[in-house]
Homo-oligomer: A and B are copies of this chain.
Amino acid sequence: MSNIKDVAKKAGVGIATVSRVLNNSGYVKKETRERIERVIYEIGYVPNEIARSMTKQKTRIIAFIVPHSNHIFFSQLIYFVEKALYEFGHKLMVCNSGSNREKELDLINMLKNNRVDGLILLTSNDIENYIKPHLPIVSFDRRFKGIPFVASDNYEGGRLAAKKLLSYNPKKLLFIGDDAQGELSDIKTEVTKRRLGFVDYLKTQNFSNYSVIEYPLGDLFVPKNFLEMMIREHADVDGIFTISDMVAEVIINELKRLGKRIPEDIKVVGYDGVKGYLNLGLTISSIAQPTEELAKHLVEVLLQKIHGLEAHDIILPVSYVDGDTT
């Protein structure tokens, strides 16, 4: 049986365009629309799933659960997700879960009650039991059984950071993370692979003078006292890889306050690589995630899942971007 991909391929357009024609939403050029309709007729494509889903009351609303929508990386991801959804005639609902598991379950209930059509999920809470494979969900940065997921290559990102810092012949390296659940429970998000990639690469290079520091809070809440103690304890450190650029920012400002020069005394590499705001010309060296591409894939994979099509996991490559902290 032919599917929407066959139609798109034969018509020489993207799935998005076919979807727009099928749903009669968004702009499609007259010639393109007619070509797609001809292909649909020729190959006898019956948009079963779509036909079925259109008999149900659809909201055309997708909910996106994030811990904090004002986190710089998430705010960029939300921006691009909204743009991508709009291309498909869908609207975006944004929900800040904070560390509030109940709020996440509330949203999952909205999904079950058909008050939204699908869910983009970014969570590190213990909600495994509520995520059923039949639900139209795509997960970011975390694997749930039967649910497609999208992430950047966190493991390779950790390796790249290690490689970069080793290139300066350091005396001692630190990894600083906010692995809220990683050490304390069974919940492992893909983000923990930043540390694994980092440590594994150091091991392959026989570099053993490193420490791993994890504090049990998200990266918007770096505990300052803890940082100061940590920096004093590891006074010989000359290279640091942090779990995110926002943690890097806090660390760098704390190091400066303690009289360290960046990058002369200590080099710092972050993760995310989103252009900072109001940074007055100084940028953090970072492992950059392809934010807009991640957003597009989150939307595409979710719509595949909603339409009953096969949805594959997506892992996108990252790259090292030079800034002023190395």
* Neighbouring B residues of A280 by C-beta, 8 Å: 249, 252-253, 262, 279-280, 282, 284, 324-325
* Cβ 8 A contact of A277, one of B94, B253, B276, B281: B276
* Neighbouring B residues of A174 by C-beta, 8 Å: none
* Neighbouring B residues of A94 by C-beta, 8 Å: 78, 82, 92-94
A92 and B93 contacting across the interface, CB-CB below 8 Å: yes
A75 and B70 contacting across the interface, CB-CB below 8 Å: yes
Using A86-B103, A91-B93 as known contacts, say yes or no to A277 and B79 having CB atoms under 8 A apart.
no
Using A279-B276, A283-B278 as known contacts, say yes or no to A69 and B61 having CB atoms under 8 A apart.
no
Using A283-B278, A324-B280 as known contacts, say yes or no to A79 and B96 having CB atoms under 8 A apart.
yes
- The 8 A CB mask of A277-297 against B (1 = contact, 0 = none) is 111111110000000000000
Using CB atoms, name the residue of chain B closest to A68: B79
Question: A72 an interface residue at 8 Å Cβ cutoff?
Answer: yes
* Neighbouring B residues of A324 by C-beta, 8 Å: 280
Residues of A that sit less than 8 Å from B by CB: 59, 61, 63, 68-70, 72, 75-76, 78-79, 82-83, 86, 91-96, 103, 110, 115, 245-246, 248-249, 252-253, 256, 262, 274, 276-284, 324-325
A293 to chain B, nearest CB (A): 16
Beyond A72-B278, A91-B95, A92-B94, 17 additional contacts (C-beta under 8 Å) are A61-B93, A69-B75, A79-B96, A82-B94, A92-B95, A93-B94, A246-B278, A249-B277, A249-B278, A249-B279, A249-B280, A252-B280, A277-B279, A278-B279, A279-B279, A280-B282, A280-B284
A86 to B110, CA, bound (A): 14
B277 and A278 contacting across the interface, CB-CB below 8 Å: yes
A324 to B256, CA, bound (A): 15
What 5 A-B pairs are tightest by C-beta distance, nearest first? A276-B278, A70-B79, A75-B75, A72-B277, A280-B282
Using CB atoms, name the residue of chain B closest to A249: B278
* Neighbouring B residues of A245 by C-beta, 8 Å: 278
* Neighbouring B residues of A93 by C-beta, 8 Å: 61, 91-94
